[in-house]
Homo-oligomer: A and B are copies of this chain.
């Protein structure tokens, strides 16, 4: 019988069985205990260590389960072969923990991603959510991979009525954000080896997603009607990513003629697709929102329609959806048919009832009116403060483009605003290439999260920051 070199410390914060387990495992790993050696019996070791038999038994069982020991019936516990001593691995020296990048604190956040959380329908959302948790426990189980069918029914109705999208619920895929869904589309389209044309200036994150998923991108400079088709043709792209209802960030709405040209381009060769990102088209202030490109093309047309609820509900409620044309739907089901949906079913069903019971359209109307009046007061305050100011983007969406004709330059405008506690970005930052094309002295003002009573002080602070 083996002589055990063991000491258990009752003052140690680890349990006695854990100490024994670690000690024995270390002896096996370092070769102090060798393959084939028999360990003391449980009773004998427990007496030797003055601990309960159960303590020894637990440690031995753990060592058996992890493959350090073998239990031979009617004989005892034997050390197993432990051939490979674990070498130290050479890794680049990196600080762990890695510090996470911190954002500068600002008094006014004019970034384009923010929304007014005070407009969120807490009461109704909370009530529906609670009712569903108690009334429908089956929602805890796996749901349909494309998203709950009831939700997709409601989405099809909503998208048809409000966005002119023509599709059946079967063509809809629900997912945890447009980024996730765009990634799936890129994986589907990657196989054909094409490249994607994207708008310049535009949404850099979409380029990142397309490229991370294996679809190289080419920037096409927009003109006053959005992405021009000759530029698209020249790019050699087979995929075209666009924001036609409300170009990001210049707020241009693509006219019908240009839309038809785009669709004609897509129909011009097999395998061409338009990815229509309809990111905030529900906030159109002067009239009903412009119908989608997808609707012009019809349910079998070459358009993938993408939309998010991150602005109409909240950025942190991760629900987005896309509409696939039939041939891509078939490929989607074959490639991703086994993937679980990424959105919690309780949130899917809460949104479903919110749509079905009419709350969503009332909520949208309320938001639209609040945002419109905020936009108008902001525009008024700015025109008052800067008589020569140019403001674009009043019709749609949640940001304005401000141009100061004799301004000190975009960088100086950004920096002096930041020094005054105002976070905003210059327009040229949205240019992925050819920044020299950018309108001078222009910044992007997202006003969604401003409080109405702050608008006066914001305009005053900007006036102070940008005075010459």
Give A contacts to B, CB under 8 Å: 25, 28-29, 58, 61-62, 65-68, 80-92, 94-100, 113-115, 117-118, 120, 122, 125-126, 129-130, 133-134, 137-144, 146, 149, 168-171, 176-177, 179-180, 183, 187, 204-205, 208-209, 212-214, 225, 253-261, 263-264, 266-267, 270, 286-288, 290-291, 296-297, 299-302, 310, 314-318, 325-327, 329-330, 333, 335-336, 338-347, 395, 449
B318 x A344 contact (CB < 8 A): yes
Chain B CB within 10 Å — which of A61, A122, A212 has the most? A212
Which among B290, B297, B302, B326 is the interface contact of A65 at CB below 8 angstroms?
B290
Shortest beta-carbon distance from A40 to chain B in Å: 20
Bound-state Cα–Cα, A170 to B100, Å: 7
B187 x A395 contact (CB < 8 A): no
Which among B96, B97, B264, B299 is the interface contact of A84 at CB below 8 angstroms?
B264
For the complex of A and B, the 6 pairs showing the least CB-CB separation, nearest first, are A67-B255, A97-B168, A140-B314, A176-B342, A316-B345, A94-B326
A113 x B138 contact (CB < 8 A): no
Bound-state Cα–Cα, A336 to B205, Å: 9
Copies in the complex: 2
Determine the chain B residues whose CB is within 8 A of the CB of A205 once the complex forms: 338-339
Bound-state Cα–Cα, A83 to B97, Å: 59
A316 x B264 contact (CB < 8 A): no
Determine the chain B residues whose CB is within 8 A of the CB of A270 once the complex forms: 90
Which among B67, B301, B339 is the interface contact of A254 at CB below 8 angstroms?
B67
A89 x B343 contact (CB < 8 A): no
Determine the chain B residues whose CB is within 8 A of the CB of A317 once the complex forms: 140, 344, 346
B91 x A342 contact (CB < 8 A): no
Shortest beta-carbon distance from A419 to chain B in Å: 24
B98 x A330 contact (CB < 8 A): yes
Determine the chain B residues whose CB is within 8 A of the CB of A187 once the complex forms: 212-213
A288: nearest chain-B partner, CB-CB: B62
Determine the chain B residues whose CB is within 8 A of the CB of A90 once the complex forms: 270
B67 x A225 contact (CB < 8 A): yes
Determine the chain B residues whose CB is within 8 A of the CB of A261 once the complex forms: 83-84
Determine the chain B residues whose CB is within 8 A of the CB of A287 once the complex forms: 58, 61-62, 65
A141 x B338 contact (CB < 8 A): no
Bound-state Cα–Cα, A97 to B25, Å: 60
Determine the chain B residues whose CB is within 8 A of the CB of A89 once the complex forms: 266-267, 297, 300-302
Shortest beta-carbon distance from A17 to chain B in Å: 9
Bound-state Cα–Cα, A99 to B169, Å: 10
Determine the chain B residues whose CB is within 8 A of the CB of A209 once the complex forms: 339
User: Can you sample 28 A-B contacts with CB below 8 Å?
Assistant: A61-B286, A67-B254, A80-B255, A85-B260, A86-B267, A86-B296, A86-B297, A89-B300, A91-B302, A94-B300, A94-B326, A98-B170, A98-B329, A98-B330, A98-B333, A114-B141, A115-B140, A117-B137, A125-B133, A139-B316, A140-B314, A141-B316, A142-B315, A180-B342, A205-B339, A208-B335, A214-B214, A342-B342
Shortest beta-carbon distance from A167 to chain B in Å: 8
B82 x A256 contact (CB < 8 A): yes
